[in-house]
């Protein structure tokens, strides 16, 4: 089975069926899905489906199981993360970076059913969460992302800063938490600096995004582009978002982050751009809040932004909360 799913802003799903035509550039017309890994290593990231179908919110996805899989989970140990956390903290103290985002992954084994059944959850998620999925034979990814990399429609680009996390019952204290606010402002100001060269920018006020069990700080940013920009250039400019990448972002700091991710067993698709091209308009989500699988092996990754004020026990708790929210959302 070859299948791509992208959640529309209206709450429905656009489903593309394979086999896919693989291209280095988007087609002039029609629908194509953009998929690349975190390192943007693919020279041909565009996938044109052989057929496309629009699914309304609450409808079932035909051809996929309606039953949720049974998965036996094993939580990661803290020691490997503690080693990476210490290295990130040391790099911050030395002044070589201001922030980085290690990722911890919980593993699991499928004991009953099929992971394809997880796709049925995509039609009933929270409005703030955008569903996405990619199935390629025995491998797949399914997710509910709260973060948009950017939307390009004509001469306007819409982006967002999303950083800072707490449990929903901590919402009141979260709203005045200096560490969480500073982490968010790191992300927002870095994003504004990247976008300012493209045209006139407008930053909207910082708000709290409610995702059920978790809350995040969110700031919308709009750009009136001075000239037309290619999707590929915009993806490489904006990925990874400051919420998932290092500050400052250089070839050296990116290489260190990718090395930390690999040491902690992070899937290479986590945090990558996943987009939809439709007749010249484009939108890309940040592929987080995901469950990935290959055969019977299943993974749930989660990342945390480490800055000077970060403490190991708090970041470890945040990583667990994020993984739990994903598994609860998908009923596993």
Q: pTM for the complete prediction? A: 0.92
Please say whether the beta carbons of 119 and 64 come within 8 A: yes
At 102 the pLDDT is 97
What's the pLDDT score for residue 166? Answer: 86
Report residue 61's pLDDT band, with 50, 70 and 90 as the boundaries. confident
DSSP 121: G
Q: What would the DSSP string read from start to end of 135-199?
A: EETTEEEEEEES-EEEEEETTEEEEEEEEEEEEGGGHHHHTT-HHHHHHHHHHHHHHHHHHGGGE
pLDDT value, residue 12? 85
pLDDT reading at 125 higher than 80:
no
Mean pLDDT of 214-243: 92
Give 55 or 264, the one with higher predicted confidence.
264
Q: Domains of the chain by range and CATH?
A: 2-329 (3.60.120.10)
Q: What is the pLDDT at residue 21?
A: 97
Does residue 245 have a pLDDT over 80?
Answer: yes
DSSP-assigned beta bridge partners for residue 134: 4, 141
pLDDT at 319 over 70: yes
């Amino acid at each position: 089975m070859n299948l791509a799913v992208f959640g529309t802003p209206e709450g429905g799903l656009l489903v593309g069926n394979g086999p896919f035509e693989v291209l280095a550039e988007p087609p002039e017309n029609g629908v194509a899905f953009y998929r690349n890994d975190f390192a943007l290593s693919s020279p041909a990231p565009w996938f044109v489906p052989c057929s496309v179908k629009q699914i309304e919110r609450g409808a079932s996805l035909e051809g996929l199981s309606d039953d949720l899989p049974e998965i036996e989970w094993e939580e990661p140990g803290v020691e490997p993360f503690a080693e990476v956390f210490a290295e990130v903290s040391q790099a911050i103290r030395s002044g070589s970076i201001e922030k980085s985002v290690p990722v911890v992954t919980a593993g699991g084994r499928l004991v009953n059913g099929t992971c394809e059944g997880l796709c049925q959850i995509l039609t009933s998620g929270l409005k703030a969460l955008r569903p996405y999925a990619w199935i390629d034979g025995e491998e797949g990814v399914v997710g509910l992302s709260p973060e948009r990399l950017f939307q390009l429609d004509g001469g306007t680009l819409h982006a967002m800063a999303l950083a800072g996390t707490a449990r929903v019952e901590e919402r009141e204290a979260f709203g005045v938490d200096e560490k969480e606010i500073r982490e968010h402002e790191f992300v927002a100001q870095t994003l504004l600096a990247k976008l300012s060269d493209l045209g006139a920018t407008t930053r909207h006020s910082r708000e709290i995004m409610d995702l059920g069990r978790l809350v995040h700080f969110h700031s919308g940013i709009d750009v009136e582009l001075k000239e037309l920009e290619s999707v590929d250039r915009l993806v490489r400019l904006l990925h990874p978002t400051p919420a998932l990448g290092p500050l400052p972002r250089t070839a050296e700091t990116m290489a260190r982050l990718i090395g930390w991710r690999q040491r902690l067993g992070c899937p290479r698709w986590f945090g990558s751009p996943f987009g939809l091209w439709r007749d010249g308009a484009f939108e890309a989500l940040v592929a987080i809040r995901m469950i990935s699988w290959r055969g019977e092996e299943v993974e749930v990754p989660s990342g945390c932004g480490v800055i000077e004020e970060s403490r190991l026990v708090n970041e470890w708790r945040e990583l667990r909360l994020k993984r739990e929210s994903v598994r609860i959302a998908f009923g596993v």
